Structure 1
Amino acid sequence: MDTLRLMHLFTRALDLGSLSAVAREAGTTQPTVSKAINALEAHLGVRLLERSTTGLLATAEGLRFHERARRLLDEYDDALADVRGHARQATGLLRVNAPVALGQFHLNALAQEFLALHPDIGIELILNDRFVDLVGDGVDVAVRLGGPLPPDAVARTIAASPRWLVAAPSYLAAHARVKRPDDLARHEFIRFAWLADGDELALQRGAEMMKVTTRGRYRVNNALAIRDSLLAGAGIGLCPQWLVHELVQAGQLARVLPAWSGTPQQVALVTPSRRYQPARARLFMDFLAARIGALPGWTSTAA
């Protein structure tokens, strides 16, 4: 039994979503592909796919096996290229997870630029503000903003963005002037939900550090919602420069206590804790490391 061939047909079936598409790609027939996957299921003793009139659906076992099989096939192809003395062209589907705002402002455009450079690579960009299970969700690269990282992952910090206190001019005109950090406690402070430090805010002015306990009736777990709330005059917030710099330039938001800033927000590329990474993931991480630090509001920290 050619197990590697069967694994390849199975992974492509799940990637493409139909047996006929795999057959066309492999230059064979749909019944041949179906028999091959049936043989793989019989060999493993588990059902990998559920067939329906609308397409293919992986079972729980099929999803787990697909993740492991895809990486094994990638490593096998890289090993062949290495022993033959040349680099294998990066191919295949790259699964990327990132926060919503960062995806909308930067990663969507960067992904299109990367795809234009690498026509044999596909990207599945999943945007949400929770930290996913890299292995369980089949993620190749997660782009994370600040915060603690899971112990079973490998992180590479590539850039940082200063964090500014900002508010709408309408809010500042209607409320008491903020002259020093302690004054923030008397204002509506809009912050990200679930922060480890809660309402405590750490600020710095050169070498001087100060902690302030803020108050606010509104918390939200989405940076775009915080930005919109600040624009609407709902309060003061601490935001990374990349999120608000153009609004400050346009006068739609104003800096509060501009001599003070928060701890810079770092962006890290996170991968599952394993020695091997497919060539497409390595290429994408190097691409992001070179590009994000050069964007407005960011400073590169990549080596």
Structure 2
Amino acid sequence: MDVFASLKAFLSVADEGGFAPAARKAGVATSSLTRQVDALEEHLTAVLFNRSTRSVTLTPAGEDYYVQAARIVADLEEANRSVSEREGTPRGLLRVSLPVAFARLHVAPVVPAFLRACPEVELEMIMTDEVVNLVEDRIDVAIRLGSLESSSLIARRLAPHRRILCASPAYLEERGEPLCPSDLAAHECLTFSYASGDRTWRFSCDGKEELVRVRGKLRANHSETLREVALAGLGLLLMPSWLVGPDIAAGTLRPLLTGWEANIGKTAASPDAGIYAVYQSDRRTSAKLRAFVDFLEASFGTPPYWDRCEPSEAIV
């Protein structure tokens, strides 16, 4: 018995809901699929399908087996693709996990150009702010922001990840400008909702670090919402330059405490905050992955285009 062929026959029958439609799709005789599935059931000593004249459905054992069989077949097909494309043309499905706001602002706009450059690549973008498990979620590459925890994953740094303290000119005219980190305690600060509930902002200058417990009427787990509120003149904002760089260039937000570096997102174990592409070591030879990551890095530039925005004369 060809186990792999029997697995594919089993999956096809389950996906198509019957032997006849699966056979039509595969362009083979129904009897051929029936023999393969019968042989598989005999090999497993288990019944995988409930068969009747009207329907074919999975048994409980078949449902359990389907999950494992689908993963095995997908892994083998991915292994075959990875080997065949090592030095060849990028092709096949590429599953990418990306933070929502960053994806919308800086990845989605260049996707059309990437797909034109790599017409044989099929791209699936999973946009989420959760840290996904690359193995369990079958992700080829994830874009992650900030500092990385130690892991066996390969991490390629695409750009720096700088945070900028800023506020609208209207807010500063009403409330005044903070001159040092400790001044922030007296200001309305718009904060991101971290799982820990921490509302401490950390700054460093010439080896000195200051921690400030900030407060404000608004917390949100959506960075673009906080930006909109800051633009409306309702508080100070500490956000990545990729989010607020264009606003600073336009003069709608003004950078503050420019002599201080914001340390949110940095850890003692991983002090180098950045924008990274992370992937498993067995994906390093994937032509489609390499093409996508190279394309993003080239699109962002060095320094990235959002850090090349200069404040307008109106806010200097």
Shorter-chain TM-score tier = 0.7 to 0.9
Question: 1:192 maps to what in 2?
Answer: 192
- In structure 2, the partner of 1:297 is 306
Q: What's the CA shift for 1:153?
A: 3.4
- Equivalent in the alignment of 1:219: 219
* Cα deviation code 1:228-260 (max 9, x no counterpart): 221222311111111111111212211122332
Q: Tell me, what secondary structure is at the counterpart of 2:161?
A: strand
Q: Could you say which residue in structure 1 is the equivalent of 2:288?
A: 280
The answer on whether the counterparts of 1:154 and 1:270 sit within 8 Å (CA) in structure 2 is yes
Q: Contact 2:85 / 2:286 at 8 angstroms: preserved in 1? A: no
Secondary structure at the counterpart of residue 89 of structure 2: coil
Aligned to 1:133: 133
Query: What secondary structure does 2:113 align onto?
Result: helix
Question: Which is worse superposed, 232-241 or 188-197?
Answer: 188-197
| Residue identity matched to 1:283 | A
1:269 paired to 2:273:
no
1:174 aligns with 2:174: yes
Rounded to whole Å, the distance in 2 between the matches of 1:244 and 1:210 is: 23
1:93 CA drift (Å):
1.1
Q: Is the 8 A contact 1:23 1:33 kept in 2?
A: no
Aligned partner of residue 257 in structure 2, secondary structure: coil
Choose the corresponding residue for 2:77, options 65, 68, 73.
73
Alignment of 1:81-100 (within 5 A): 87-100=87-100
**Deviation sequence 1:196-242 (CA, Å, 0-9, x none):** 69222222345554332222342222221221221222311111111
**TM-score normalised by the chain length of structure 2:** 0.72
Q: Identify unmatched segments of 5+ residues in structure 2.
A: 50-54, 56-61, 264-271, 309-316
- Structure 1 residues 248 and 61: CA distance shift in structure 2, 3 A: farther
In structure 2, the CA distance between the partners of 1:211 and 1:81, relative to structure 1 (3 Å rule), is closer
Q: Which has the higher strand share?
A: 1
Instruction: Report Cα offsets for 1:140-181 as digits up to 9, x if no partner.
Output: 111011144373533222211321101122222222431221
Compared CA separation, residues 23 and 243, structure 1 to 2 (3 A): farther
Q: Which SS does the other structure have where 1:297 is aligned?
A: helix
Q: Report the RMSD for the aligned CA atoms in angstroms.
A: 3.9
Aligned in 2, Cα 1:187/1:74: closer, same or farther, shift over 3 Å? same
Q: What are the superposed Cα offsets for residues 71-124 of structure 1, whole Å, 9 maximum, x if unpaired?
A: 322323444677xxxx34332111111111111011112322221111111111
Is the 1:9–1:36 Cα contact (8 Å) retained in structure 2? no
Q: Is the 8 A contact 1:227 1:244 kept in 2?
A: yes
- 8 Å Cα contact 1:129/1:221 also seen in 2: no
Query: Could you list the per-position Cα deviations for residues 40-86 of structure 1 after superposition, in whole angstroms to 9, with x for gaps in the alignment?
Result: 974676969xxxx9xxxx9676455444433322323444677xxxx
Aligned residue runs from structure 1 range 40-119, under 5 A: 42=41, 62=66, 65-79=69-83, 87-119=87-119
Instruction: From the CA coordinates, give the structure whose radius of gyration is larger.
Output: 2
* Aligned partner letter, 2:73: A
Q: Is the 8 A contact 1:190 1:237 kept in 2?
A: yes
